[in-house]
Amino acid sequence: MADKNPDKWCFTWAANKPKVAGAERAALVKALKWDPGSVITVSFLDGDEELQQRVAAVARKWTEPGMANLTFDFREGPNTNIRISFRYSGSWSVLGTSCKSIADTTQPTMNYGWLTADSDDAEVERVVLHEFGHALGMIHEHQNPAGGIHWDRDQVIEDLSGPPNNWDLGTIEHNMFEPYSRDETNFTTLDADSIMMYPLPARWTTDGFSVGLNSTLSKTDKKFIRDQYQ
């Protein structure tokens, strides 16, 4: 893959549904949207204090003036909507408001398993923007109902069934080839520049389509999140 860290895939799921492994798009699950104007409380369960501050600064890019009409309220104590850990493997977040269904306040709703105090700014921005996109209800761009990716299924299956992913066929089907329903999502046409798009190597498509490492919010990401949370 184009990513310098090809084994670092994101996981996301709705907390009131079974967790699934996989990767994720400018589309948003309507049932998991926050109400515009919401104050979303956030806390850290662990981690380096300086890194926590860097995470908070990046997360707020989603709610800057002209972006989502929401507020991330970072505070002490675990009685918050979003709870962040750095202790577990992988990078993941539950989708949107489903975090509210995790009643155990010792359990994180978001995790940054490979971010450390030594992580550079570009890596922190890329990962945090992506995971907080999930926290706002956004899914992985390659599963956008608008479609548009011409997969070389055999190659994708061959690559993901081996190390480092070692996914079975059902996991690959669910996380790579199954789009979300048009009825359950708000979405744009496929946005290859979206922060929610994973790097895709050209060998995974039949027409040479590929995506590099997206590290910032695209123009479509910004317009989309503003329209969703006016």
The C-alpha atoms of residue 85 and residue 143 are separated, in whole angstroms, by 26
Per DSSP, 175 falls in state I
Q: What is the pLDDT of residues 87-115, one digit of tens each?
A: 988 788 998 999 999 999 999 999 998 89
β-strand 110-112 against 91-94: which pairing, if any? antiparallel
Instruction: Indicate the domain borders of the chain.
Output: 10-224
Q: What is the pLDDT of residues 172-216, one digit of tens each?
A: 887 788 765 544 344 556 788 888 887 789 999 999 988 878 889
pLDDT at 21 over 60: no
The C-alpha atoms of residue 32 and residue 51 are separated, in whole angstroms, by 28
**CB atoms < 10 A from the CB of 81, how many?**
19
8 confidence band (pLDDT: 50, 70, 90)? low
pTM (2 d.p.):
0.80
**Mean pLDDT of all residues belonging to the chain:** 83
Contact 83, 109 (CB under 8 A): yes
1 confidence band (pLDDT: 50, 70, 90)? very low
User: To which CATH superfamily is domain 10-224 assigned?
Assistant: Collagenase (Catalytic Domain) (3.40.390.10)
Buried b (16+ CB within 10 A) or exposed e, 58-71: bbebbbeeebbbbe
Contact 5, 114 (CB under 8 A): yes
The strand order across the sheet containing 10-13 reads 10-13, 91-94, 110-112, 82-85, 39-44, 71-74
pLDDT at 225 over 60: yes
CA atoms in the 13 A half-sphere facing the CB of 40:
27
Contact 26, 40 (CB under 8 A): no
Per DSSP, 96 falls in state G
Q: Secondary structure of the chain: what % helix, strand, coil (to 5)?
A: 30, 15, 55
CA dist 79 → 75, 88, 193 (Å): 9, 20, 35
